[in-house]
Amino acid sequence: MWADSLATVPVPVPEPTALALRYHFGNNVLWVVDTLVGLLVPGVILFTGWSARLRTWAARAAGGRPWMTLLLYVAAFVVLTSLATAPLDFYESFVREHAYGLSNQTLGKWLGDSIKALVLSSLVAPLGALFLYWLVRRSPRRWWLWSTAAALPLLAFVYLVVPIWISPLFNKYGPLDDKTLEASILAEARHAGIEGSRVFQVNKSVDTKAISAYVTGFGASKRIVLYDTIIEKLTPEEIRFVAGHEMGHFVLRHVLLGLAGTWLLLGISLYTIARVAGWLLSRYGTRFGFDRLDDPASLPLFLLVSSVVSLAATPLLLAGSRRLEHEADRFGLELTRSNHAAATAFVKLQQENLDIPRPELFYTTFRGSHPSLADRIEFANTYHPWTTGAPLVYGDRFHD
């Protein structure tokens, strides 16, 4: 049932098209631009004193009530910074994607999704800030420790509810239309030792022509999500490998590792802020317009330092991500034994998403969350220990 009759037929790595090379180069440039904007926007707001002026406005509007001042300040900050970056976001996610033939999204859908995201951010960010600044006031020396401890259950809650409540605000999720394919994937899940698994189809074709799949949630909300574009463009055998790869993330606890990594990075960021805040405030407090970290106007300071820490940690985090993705590939191959289907799925991923098979060191270091497509295709071509009777790395995870 799991054997691939074409396992020994190697699939060549296709050369990238000229269009894909231009798209890849442009994405690298935009990554640099996005990174600089992510540092410049809070930096300018902080060092020009605009943040302090925005806090003064919020205090007047709130009638001097500290908690209301903070809520108004953060909501206004989210709206203003979103408006400041909207032109760049519009170019990147709408204009450019249409120019390269990767988007089906209408202007109305783009605007609707952007407004929904802005409203959500404007509601959630002030509440999170209210708790954070309360801890800063209550424990000026250990606030970063208590914040990090509190963040773990909060992050777990976010991972739990996003698939159920947030994602459906932007796209329609439902069971697979192809019931035969759904039954085969569920049988594959049982073989992988996953009971009660759920597979969802999302109508991403209203937004994009690209193909993708992902795992999300944990516990009661865990699910495998397939773009309807991937169901349309891949064969059932290729889709089963993709699903097997995503099952690997569940079985190997990669979702929980991702949660732990996010939590650790947040803790490092908060600790760094706590260590450098005193020096920054003593040196630049007059310029900032505030001299205490518990002042709402310090929000861009939090964001600026966090962005620097995140940028510094990016190479290490991406290296870890590539390792997890490689092991998920191995799991999918051992589960399905569909070498040829896996390799052709990667080829289609390259062609449909305008990817290139062998990216340069810059991309790998700062943007590469997955192994290169060339490496994945070649691994799919050559990894088949079951043909020689060699033991499987994850053989003990499978159920007959």
- Counting runs of H as helices and runs of E as strands, what totals does the chain give? 14, 4
Query: Do 32 and 367 contact (CB within 8 A), yes or no?
Result: no
DSSP secondary structure, 57-77, as one string: HHHHHTTT-HHHHHHHHHHHH
* Pairing mode, strands 173-174 and 213-216: unpaired
Tell me the residue type at 212. Answer: S
Query: Do 222 and 198 contact (CB within 8 A), yes or no?
Result: yes
Tell me the residue type at 19. Answer: L
Element (H, E) at 224: strand 223-227
246 has catalytic annotation: yes
Cα–Cα separations (whole angstroms), residue 23 to 44, 91, 101, 138: 30, 14, 11, 50
Look at residues 316, 349, 355 and name the one whose alpha carbon lies nearest to residue 241: 349
Cα–Cα separations (whole angstroms), residue 20 to 15, 26, 362: 10, 10, 17
Q: Which of 246, 325, 334, 352 is catalytic?
A: 246
Q: How far apart are CA 262 and CA 378, in angstroms?
A: 31
Sign of torsion over alpha carbons 118, 121, 127, 133:
negative
Give the chain's radius of gyration (CA, Å): 24
CB-facing half-sphere around the CA of 309: CA atoms within 13 A = 20
Cα–Cα separations (whole angstroms), residue 229 to 169, 203, 372: 19, 8, 22
Look at residues 136, 161, 152, 134 and name the one whose alpha carbon lies nearest to residue 71: 134
Cα–Cα separations (whole angstroms), residue 174 to 137, 209, 211: 45, 19, 17
Span between the terminal Cα atoms of the chain, in Å: 11
Query: Do 333 and 380 contact (CB within 8 A), yes or no?
Result: yes
Residues recognised as catalytic: 246
